[in-house]
Amino acid sequence: MDRYDFIITVYCLVCKYYGIIKDQYPIRRGGFAPALTDEEVITIEICGEYFKMNTDQDIFDYFQAHYQTDFPQLRDRSLFVRQAANLWQVKAAIQHLLVIHSGQAADPVQAIDTLPLPVCVYTRAPRDRCFKPLADYSHCAAKKMDYYGFKLGLRIARSGMITYFPLLPARPHDIQFLEELVENFAGIVPADKGFIDAIRQALLDERQGVTVITPARKNMTESHPLQLRRLCSRWRKRVETGGSQLTQRFAVDHIRVRDIWHFQHRIIRKVLAHTIGVFLNLQLGRKPLDLDGLLA
């Protein structure tokens, strides 16, 4: 499909799920109704992110220049940005419903990982006044980088759809977040070596029915069948691919805002755009993570 067809498809999808959840969240308590409908604002945000526009200014300018006839009330950038930020709960709920209705929430195999989320360049971190005391220093071994900010936890189904994405503190080791990343889940969890902890894994298996499978270190003996370990190694690549798309296509590691509230809103928006891309691919019978091929 071309970009115009994509925008229409996303708008219809947003309208469907917005109608389901609008009564669950008190979006506004009084005053005049906004010129742009909530469905239009969410559609513009999602499509802008999918088109690789990572700032509110870029998204507003692009749609005002190319789709003014379709969104005639898109006139004031500050009103658009404020309305978009206030809809963060609605976007999170839409993402959750998409995961459930696509059947991916029930996938018995979901891989976990974390992504570094810098909030500013490392040299500016000592002067940060926007995210203290929430943000902290950390080191990402996979990318061989020191950074200042947060971690994004990811739990991803075998299709590549993100089923859970908590914002985590940066300093603690990944193993400290194992219980949180498998919250409300039972099944097989492929993970990397950062999540190796025999005691935690045994407790999760006994209490919650979660089987965490990681590559073994040289001094460890394998406790799972070879075929299962090979399958988990392949499934673990899905979470790496999903994290790479969030970083490269949606620039989740280059969010530049002045407070944690807007920071979380941007993360939700980017994850929702990724989820809709995977959802549409599943509906069309395409490779779920082929986000580029969805647009002609």
Q: Is residue 53 part of a domain?
A: no
Q: Please tell me the total count of domains within the chain.
A: 1
Q: Is residue 263 part of a domain?
A: no
The whole domain housing 189 covers 109-254
Give tens-digit pLDDT for 106-156. Answer: 999 999 999 999 998 888 888 888 888 889 999 888 888 899 999 999 999
Instruction: Specify the CATH number for the domain of residue 201.
Output: 3.30.420
Q: Is residue 7 part of a domain?
A: no
- The reported pTM is 0.93
Give tens-digit pLDDT for 161-211. Answer: 999 999 999 999 999 999 999 999 999 999 988 888 888 888 988 889 999
Q: Is residue 134 part of a domain?
A: yes
The angle formed by the CA atoms of residues 137, 138 and 140, to the nearest 5 degrees, is 150
Q: Is residue 42 part of a domain?
A: no
Q: Is residue 4 part of a domain?
A: no
